[in-house]
Amino acid sequence: MAEKLRLTPYTIREWARLGRLPSIRLTHRIRFDPKDLEKWLKERRWLIDV
């Protein structure tokens, strides 16, 4: 996912932790629902060139 968004893994984790990226926390792991991520990307397509 980091490659697709052109972000570092650290940034992905931080954005998820801060609620800037849709995610689900299961114990100490962060999971991402592909449908939620696709919606998030579509809403921000003008910000992120994918």
- pTM of the entire structure? 0.73
User: CA neighbours within 13 Å on the CB side: how many for 47?
Assistant: 6
Q: Is the pLDDT of residue 45 over 60?
A: yes
Residues 6+ apart with CB under 8 A from 8: 2
In whole angstroms, what is the distance from residue 28 CA to residue 45 CA? 30
- pLDDT tier at 29 (50, 70, 90 boundaries)? very high
State residue 10's pLDDT score: 95
pLDDT > 90: percent of the chain: 52
State residue 49's pLDDT score: 55
Tokens 């397509």 sit at which residue?
45
